[in-house]
Amino acid sequence: VTTASDGTTPRDGWSSRSAFVLAAVGAAVGLGNLVRFPAEAANNGGGAFVLFYVACIVLIGLPVLLSETLIGRHGQASAVESMKRLAAESNASKWWGGIAGLGVAAAFMILAFYCVIGGWVLYYIGLFAADIVQSGISGGALTGMSAEDIKAIFPDLLNNGFTMSVLDVAFVVITVMFVARGVSGGIEKASVWLMPAFFMLLLGITIYGAFTGAFSEAVGYLFTFDASKLTGPVMLAAVGQAFFSLSLGVAGMMTYGSYVGRDVNLAKTSATIAFADTSVALIAGLCIFPIVLAAGLSSDGGLGLMFDTLPHAFQSMPFGTLIGLAFFVMVGFAALTSSISLMEVPTAWAIDKFGLRRAPTAISIAVAAAVLGILSAYSFNALSGFHPLGFIPLFEGEGIFSALDSVTAKLFMPIGALLVSIFVGWIAERRLIDNENGLSGGLHRFWLFLVRWLCPLALTGILIVGIFPSLL
């Protein structure tokens, strides 16, 4: 338990450094690593994308991650309040708090569509569990279904707004059960139990795939660097993925950082978080591609890789039902620890801003997220003609679900991260930052160079190209 920087209000917080690491890794590791990363790698030519992605994590993601956690830890308050405090102590405008405000809004929007996908994961867990009850674990998955039947599972689900809504609400309810119980009593508990279970499942399935699947083919696919494939759009996709995966630009890591005690070295901890997140993405690639390639399937990426191609592959594998169930349970654990962090951002903000109690605040946010989630679920069917941001050319033709995804990934996240790096690099008082970051000597100077120059330049580039794709 830490104390607010005014020294008066006792504040809930992580019970140890390792609890923070697990919670932050839980926030970072999610659908982004398991669904988005493999799909983006498949879409963007494999090895070139992967290596550039790792470079983005180290040179752009990690410095911003450290910046966000240090703003939160310094302020010991919700993201907006922490940002305002640091700005005030640096004699800068309190409007800098508004950056975190944008982040809070973005976290809420991501939460809404993230829980819809969480609901799909629940659906697949049910599908494989029912399959085990019916036909045991020894055969392949989805016994008796033809290729056409399997192909129809995902589109049928997307056509069924009601089922998706019920599952979305279920996922929101599971999420809020942890958030409502507080930082050390709820959020931390989820990570401390679910993350180790997640790692065991991931390693188990990957080892299984290494023996039964096309492992060396997958390694070649993911790690063969072909410089000619490193085009502008591929680089753009890699930076965007790095930010999404590390949960940056949406005040999430500021919020989690605010529960960290003064004794924790933030530089080391941020490096651990980034390392764990990147390892999981790479292992997820080595988990998924051997299975897909061995089944002779290919994927054009996108959500279909997980919800269409993989179920197909599980059908032809020994113990496919069991592996399929374990796989989707694993995805569910990862998604849950991330949705918890997404819900915590607006919850912490509202508690601070309006002086409310945690449980009713979290529940109100959950209700709002469920409503927006249900609208997103119907945007695949009944509401497919409704394009909320259709008047902006960048979001033309996008329904609610995909508009929420695009507007956060293309605008909110890069703008948030850009302003954070400018704030920490140029605006905040050096002394305050230097006391907080846990770096010294050459590493400190290198980090400062990255937040001052490389991050702002790279992020400005991403924003411009994200808004005017025709420039590439």
Using CB under 6 A, pick the residue from 49, 113, 178, 244 that binds ligand PFF. 244
Q: Compute the chain's Rg from CA coordinates.
A: 22
CA 181, distance to chain mean position in Å, is 22
Q: What angle do CA 280, 286, 287 make, to 5 degrees?
A: 85
Answer yes or no whether residue 269 interacts with ligand PFF by CB under 6 A: no
Answer yes or no whether residue 257 interacts with ligand PFF by CB under 6 A: no
Q: Is 242 exposed, middle or buried (0-12, 13-18, 19+ CB in 10 A)?
A: buried
DSSP per-residue codes, 41-76: HHHTTTHHHHHHHHHHIIIIIHHHHHHHHHHHHHHT
CB atoms within 10 A of CB 64: 26
**In sequence order, which residues have a C-beta less than 8 Å from that of residue 76 and are 6 or more positions away?**
2, 3, 4, 5, 11, 82, 258
Answer yes or no whether residue 373 interacts with ligand PFF by CB under 6 A: no
Stretch that binds ligand PFF, among 54-62, 152-160, 161-169, 239-247 (CB under 6 A): 239-247
The least distance separating ligand PFF from the CB of residue 32, rounded to whole angstroms, comes to 2
Q: Is 442 exposed, middle or buried (0-12, 13-18, 19+ CB in 10 A)?
A: exposed
The least distance separating ligand PFF from the CB of residue 462, rounded to whole angstroms, comes to 16
Answer yes or no whether residue 376 interacts with ligand PFF by CB under 6 A: no
The least distance separating ligand PFF from the CB of residue 28, rounded to whole angstroms, comes to 5
Number of residues that bind ligand PFF (CB under 6 A): 16
In the complex, which residue's CB is closest to ligand PFF?
A: 32
Answer yes or no whether residue 105 interacts with ligand PFF by CB under 6 A: no
| Residue number, 28 or 377, with CB nearest to ligand PFF | 28
The sign of the CA dihedral 195, 106, 113, 46 is negative
The least distance separating ligand PFF from the CB of residue 347, rounded to whole angstroms, comes to 12
The binding track of 32-61 with respect to ligand PFF, each residue x by CB under 6 A or -, is xx----------------------------
Using CB under 6 A, pick the residue from 5, 245, 270, 315 that binds ligand PFF. 245
The least distance separating ligand PFF from the CB of residue 37, rounded to whole angstroms, comes to 8
The least distance separating ligand PFF from the CB of residue 270, rounded to whole angstroms, comes to 14
The least distance separating ligand PFF from the CB of residue 14, rounded to whole angstroms, comes to 17
Answer yes or no whether residue 254 interacts with ligand PFF by CB under 6 A: no
Q: b or e along 131-161 (b: 16 or more beta carbons within 10 Å of the residue's beta carbon)?
A: beeeeeeebbbbeebeeeebbebbeebbebb
Restricted to residues 303-362, the positions that interact with ligand PFF (CB under 6 A) are 338, 341-342
- Tell me which residue of 337, 357, 419 sits closest to 100, measured CA to CA: 419
The least distance separating ligand PFF from the CB of residue 110, rounded to whole angstroms, comes to 6
| Residue number, 62 or 107, with CB nearest to ligand PFF | 107
The binding track of 18-37 with respect to ligand PFF, each residue x by CB under 6 A or -, is ---------xx-xxxx----
| Residue number, 165 or 241, with CB nearest to ligand PFF | 241
The binding track of 132-171 with respect to ligand PFF, each residue x by CB under 6 A or -, is ----------------------------------------
Answer yes or no whether residue 425 interacts with ligand PFF by CB under 6 A: no
Q: Which amino acid is at 78?
A: S
Answer yes or no whether residue 412 interacts with ligand PFF by CB under 6 A: no
**In sequence order, which residues have a C-beta less than 8 Å from that of residue 275 and are 6 or more positions away?**
none
Say how far apart CA 369 and CA 379 lie, in whole Å: 15
| Residue number, 220 or 301, with CB nearest to ligand PFF | 301
| Residue number, 57 or 342, with CB nearest to ligand PFF | 342
| Residue number, 29 or 164, with CB nearest to ligand PFF | 29
The least distance separating ligand PFF from the CB of residue 322, rounded to whole angstroms, comes to 25
| Residue number, 234 or 248, with CB nearest to ligand PFF | 248
Say how far apart CA 288 and CA 317 lie, in whole Å: 13
| Residue number, 342 or 420, with CB nearest to ligand PFF | 342
Say how far apart CA 259 and CA 184 lie, in whole Å: 9
**In sequence order, which residues have a C-beta less than 8 Å from that of residue 258 and are 6 or more positions away?**
72, 73, 75, 76, 77, 78, 79, 82, 348
Give the pair of three-digit tokens for residue 111. Answer: 């939460």
Answer yes or no whether residue 176 interacts with ligand PFF by CB under 6 A: no
- Tell me if 376 sits within 8 A of 384, measured CB to CB: no
The least distance separating ligand PFF from the CB of residue 251, rounded to whole angstroms, comes to 7
Q: Is 354 exposed, middle or buried (0-12, 13-18, 19+ CB in 10 A)?
A: exposed
| Residue number, 35 or 87, with CB nearest to ligand PFF | 35
**In sequence order, which residues have a C-beta less than 8 Å from that of residue 245 and are 6 or more positions away?**
28, 32, 33, 36, 37, 57, 61, 277, 278, 281
Give the pair of three-digit tokens for residue 388. Answer: 């909320």
Answer yes or no whether residue 462 interacts with ligand PFF by CB under 6 A: no
> Using CB under 6 A as the criterion, which residues of the chain lie in contact with ligand PFF when the complex forms?
27-28, 30-33, 107, 110, 244-245, 247, 250, 252, 338, 341-342
